[in-house]
Amino acid sequence: MCSVAGNEQCYCPECHRTTVVVVDHATGDTICTECALVLEERYIDETSEWRTFSDAGSGEDRDPNRVGGCSDPFLAHAELGTVVAPAKRQAKDTAAAASLPHVRVDSKSGQDSSLAVAFRAISDMADRLQLVATIRDRAKELFKKMEEAKLCARVRNRDAAYAACLHIACRNEGNPRTLKELASVMRDCQDKKEIGRMERIIRRHLGEEAGTAMEMGVVRAADYMSRFGSRLGMGKPEVREAQRAAQTLEDKLDVRRNPESIAAAIIYMVVQRAGAQTSARDVSKASGVAEATIKEACKELSQHEELLFSS
């Protein structure tokens, strides 16, 4: 069985560029979706083990599922716990067993408990955004640094802190998400301005602590093309054309607009050139950029259309 590893992309030496890959769970191979070249072998599944022992024991109180969660390297102590209690049948037969107290031995400290809650929330948001494990783990590492720097005590909205960590991690891994996308997976206050505010706090305080400017990946319009194009059902040739146009714009023009607006405008120009029945409203829904902004950016870029689509 094959599955797309989120939006994971790898450099393919056969295609000579970065392509989307799939993981074959039967063989453990990571395969390029365009030329079918096996890029990696023996993929390691890091998710929890799940095994069912359907023939073991009987009775209504039998739990056939024995599962152990994978350990989290960002916690000082593994999430281990032991519950000592008498079995129902033994309790009826043995008075000594009936007097055995219920004891729980938990190795987690208070800080680890707080981090565990935060890490579950970050993982949930990452899953809903279909982010790869490297981005999720980088966001966890960043939040742990916040906890150690005592920044979390000043945070009013913890969801905004989780989203800000994910936003920074996405940029650093070259797979950016818009603030609007991150706000959509927050549970309480879906305010992208709050995410931006938290991001500035994180960058300022953690950067000062390290004595250097905090590393932030450069976001380019081409980084959004694959995801926006996929939502619109664009073919690979059209997506590649949009990526080339975005690269040409970056190399030869100076357009003072944010990357997602440029990406949405170029995609709209590409679909219009292809004669597709895709409206600016459709592109707006796929990209999260306002319809009016897309039209304004298209009007500005139309002056350079010959340059952008000459190759």
Candidate from 39-48, 129-138, 169-178 with smallest mean pLDDT: 39-48
Domains of the chain: 9-40 (no CATH), 110-210 (1.10.472.10), 221-309 (1.10.472.10)
Give tens-digit pLDDT for 179-216: 888 988 887 667 788 888 888 888 888 775 555 555 66
Which pLDDT belongs to residue 8? Answer: 74
CA angle 230, 243, 286 (to 5 degrees): 30
Instruction: Report the alpha-carbon distance of residue 160 to residue 168 in Å, rounded.
Output: 12
Give tens-digit pLDDT for 52-94: 555 555 555 455 555 555 566 677 655 455 545 555 544 444 4
Cα Rg for the chain, rounded, in angstroms? 25
Instruction: Report the alpha-carbon distance of residue 5 to residue 1 in Å, rounded.
Output: 12
Instruction: Report the alpha-carbon distance of residue 153 to residue 147 in Å, rounded.
Output: 8
Query: Has residue 126 got a pLDDT over 60?
Result: yes
Which pLDDT belongs to residue 6? Answer: 47
For residues 276 and 213, is the Cβ–Cβ distance under 8 A?
no
For residues 287 and 263, is the Cβ–Cβ distance under 8 A?
yes
- Over residues 95-113, mean pLDDT: 50
- Over residues 250-266, mean pLDDT: 90
Angle between helices 259-273 and 280-287 (to 10 degrees): 140
Instruction: Report the alpha-carbon distance of residue 225 to residue 262 in Å, rounded.
Output: 10
Length of the chain: 311
